[in-house]
Amino acid sequence: MNFNRFGAALSVFATGALLLSACGSDNSAAGGNATSGSSSANVTCGGKKTLKASGSTAQANAMTRFINAFQQACPGQDLNYTANGSGAGVNEFLGRQTDFGGSDVPLSTDEYGRAQQRCGSPAWNLPVVFGPIAVTYNLSGVSSLNLDGPTAAKVFNGAITTWNDPAIKALNGNTNLPATPIHVVFRSDESGTTDNFQKYLDAASDGAWGKGTGKSFNGGIGEGAKGNDGTSAAIKHTEGSVTYNEWSFAQAQKLNVASIVTSAGPGP
C-alpha cells in the first residue's frame, strides 16, 4: 500500500506511520462470534482472551482508543499494552514475551528475519496510525517561536547554547528572546520517535546535524527522560528546555510548540 505525504500544520515538522509488528498466518481468521461494534464493519472475535503487547509511547494514546473499541466489540476479551518505547516493544516481541509490538519505524532486515523465526510464519509490519512529531519548549515570556531545520539541528547537537543566539533571533523578528541557556531533553530509551526526529534533522539541516540517525539520541548533550510522557513532564517543569514529542502528548500537556520554517512558511 502506498501512503502519500501531505503538508500538515506548520508546528508539526515530521510525521511517520506508526506500525504494529505481528505474526502472519496461512490460516483464515480464527473461529468465533462475529460481533458488530459501533461501526458498520464486522469484527471477528476469538482466539486468546487477553492479548499482551508493548512498544511505542507515541502510539499510547491511539492504543487506548483501539483497546476501548476492541473491548466494546468483543466483550470478555482484552488487550494489555505497555508503552515502554519502540526498542523495548520490538525486543519483547522478538523474545516471545508479547503477541505484537508497537514501533514508530519498520523492522530492520535483521529484525524481520528474527521475527520470522519467532513466528514460524511471515511477520507483518502493519501501519496503524500517523504520528506527527513536534518541537516543544518552555521559555518564560515566549509563547511563539520559529525554528528551521538547520537551527533546530544546532540546538539539539549543542552548537547553539542560548535562546538569544543570532540564528534563532533571525527567525523570530521582534520577539524578545532571553539569554537563558538551552536545556535539551531527549529520549533516554530506544525510541522510534527519536529515530524519526533524527532522520528529519539529518535531511533538513543542510549538514548542520552531522550526528546520524537511530533509535538512540546522538546529540551528545542534554538530559534523558523515558517515553513521550517523560519528556513532556521534563519540559513542563524545566525553564529554558526544549525537546521533541509525539504531537498528542504536546497537546495533552499544553506545551508550547515551535513553528518550523520551511519554503512554505511561516515567514520569519
Rg (CA), the chain: 20
State the DSSP string of the chain.
---------TTEEEEEEEEEEEE--SSPPPP--EEE-SSSSEEE--S-SEEEEEE-STTHHHHHHHHHHHHHHSTT-EEEEEE--HHHHHHHHHTTSSSEEEESSPPPHHHHHHHHHHHTS-EEEEEEEEEEEEEEEE-TT----EEEHHHHHHHHTTS--BTT-HHHHHTSTT-----PBPEEEEESS--HHHHHHHHHHHHHSTTS--S--SSS--S--SEEESHHHHHHHHHHTSTTEEEEEEHHHHHHTT-EE-EEEBTTB---
Q: What phi-psi label fits residue 206: left (phi over 0), alpha (psi between -120 and 50 degrees) or beta?
A: left
For 132-261, give the CATH class.
alpha beta
Domains 16-25+43-131 and 132-261 share a fold: yes
* Domain coordinates in residue numbering, the chain: 16-25+43-131, 132-261
Q: What is the pLDDT along the chain (268 residues), one digit of tens a residue?
A: 222 222 222 333 344 445 567 786 554 333 334 343 344 357 788 888 999 999 888 888 889 999 999 999 999 999 999 988 888 888 999 999 999 988 877 888 898 899 889 998 888 888 887 778 999 999 999 999 999 999 999 999 999 999 999 999 999 999 999 999 999 999 999 898 999 999 999 999 999 999 999 999 999 999 999 999 999 999 999 999 999 998 888 998 999 999 999 877 664 4
CATH superfamily of 16-25+43-131: Periplasmic binding protein-like II (3.40.190.10)
